Amino acid sequence: MESKRILLLTTPNSYRDAAFLAAAARLGVEAVRAVDMPPALASCGEHTLGLDFADHDAATAAIARYAAARPFRAITAVDDSGSLLAAHASAALGLPHNAPAAAEAARDKYLMRTLLARHGVPVPEFRLCSTSDDIAALAEHAPYPCVVKPLNLNGSRGVIRADDPAELVAAVARLSALLGALEPGAGPRPFLVERFIPGFEVALEGLLDGGRLRVLALFDKPDPLDGPFFEETIYVTPSRLPAEAQAAIGECAAHAAAALGLRGGPIHAELRVNRHGPWIVELAGRSIGGLCSQTLRFGTDATLEELIVAQACGIPVESLGRAGGAGGVMMIPIPGAGILRRVDGVEQARAVAGVEDVAITAPLNNPIVPLPEGESYLGFIFARGDRPAAVERALREAHAQLRFHIQPNIPLLSLG
């Protein structure tokens, strides 16, 4: 019988590995990890490949050599970092996957905006800029309020709102410093300036099959995301929006996926809804980040990762319908930069009615950095209940029990 084997492209510190490995085990699929690491450290093992994801040709050749003896049913990116390599390697091995051009468009915000606008998907007015531009002149003609954002960072990192020319100049300076710290000596960097979209924000989780979108979950984000930074906190599903608004959101996400050329696998879309309808903020060819997928169950007790692995490997699934009542997660925000020394109140937070777990994922005695320079959260709170409003209350009450002891005065950009 043909072996069921999947290659998972991941990073050394990914939140998602355990969930994908557990999903593969439950489905009887052998999982091999390919970990993004510098070429000097790259190595191969029976169930782990060390690859430089940025070198598509060399990484694809290494995957092909491994697959010659132990073929894969599928190659799946656990996070955004592996999506381009997954597309290139799948194409080389003749495995089903999104086209490399579609994967690139889902990673590059300028390409994304350009294709969405070309195909009539609602997107804000936008302009491609460079850190070498005359920023003062740019600021005189920007659409206010506007948002400055990098082309390929995740999780709202580097995204800053500006309401006037002085704020735009300051925002670009801050973004330039961040990009320079992440990649020293790389020269001028491109970024976007786009009109701020007012409205209520939601997140859509879905699976594409031959270009057809199946919406798996729609999360409300009840906390306002109006800037100056855009740190997400609470996700609650099912959405409390009217049915017609939810249908319009699904149609918009499907239109956006088609415009980018995405045809298979998971998508995670961020949208804003206002009196003009839904607008695409971002669309990624991967599933929801962090530990947020823990709040989702499908059929009898399948995880989101099981659905993704099953689809990739051609394994029938019992149901794509979401199971249980309402569920939610709070991504615990970082209140300030410094060294995280202690977190108090975790057991009290876990004792709140409706709370399933509190996971503090930031390591103690290590530096933490808030947005817009930072890229992570302190941890996650998970809750479940009969109604979305009850879940939201439980998350807020649990968060109120937590006390974070942070040693301040750590320079932001020196933390990378």
Residues of the chain with CATH 3.90.1170.50: 325-416
| Gyration radius (Cα) of the chain, Å | 21
Residue 329: which of 241, 246, 222, 199 has the closest Cα? 222
CATH for 5-105 is: 3.40.50.20
- Indicate if the pLDDT at residue 137 is higher than 50: yes
68-115 pLDDT per residue, tens? 999 999 999 998 889 999 999 999 999 988 999 999 999 999 999 999
Fold classification of 125-195 (topology level): Dna Ligase; domain 1 (3.30.1490)
* Stretch 412-416: mean pLDDT: 48
* Stretch 166-193: mean pLDDT: 95
Residues of the chain with CATH 3.30.1490.20: 125-195
| 1 confidence band (pLDDT: 50, 70, 90) | very low
Residue 31: which of 354, 309, 317 has the closest Cα? 309
DSSP string for residues in 22-78 = HHHHHTT-EEEEEEE--GGG--B-SSEEEE-TT-HHHHHHHHHHHHHHS--SEEEES
Residues of the chain with CATH 3.40.50.20: 5-105
210-236 pLDDT per residue, tens? 999 999 999 999 999 999 999 999 999
Fold classification of 325-416 (topology level): Aldehyde Oxidoreductase; domain 3 (3.90.1170)
State residue 290's pLDDT score: 84
pTM of the model: 0.92
Range scoring the smallest mean pLDDT among 94-98, 277-281, 294-298, 299-303 = 299-303
Q: What pairing do the DSSP bridges indicate for beta strands 126-130 and 190-195?
A: antiparallel
Range scoring the smallest mean pLDDT among 275-284, 320-329, 333-342, 366-375 = 320-329
CA distance 168 to 137: 11
379-403 pLDDT per residue, tens? 999 999 999 999 999 999 999 999 9
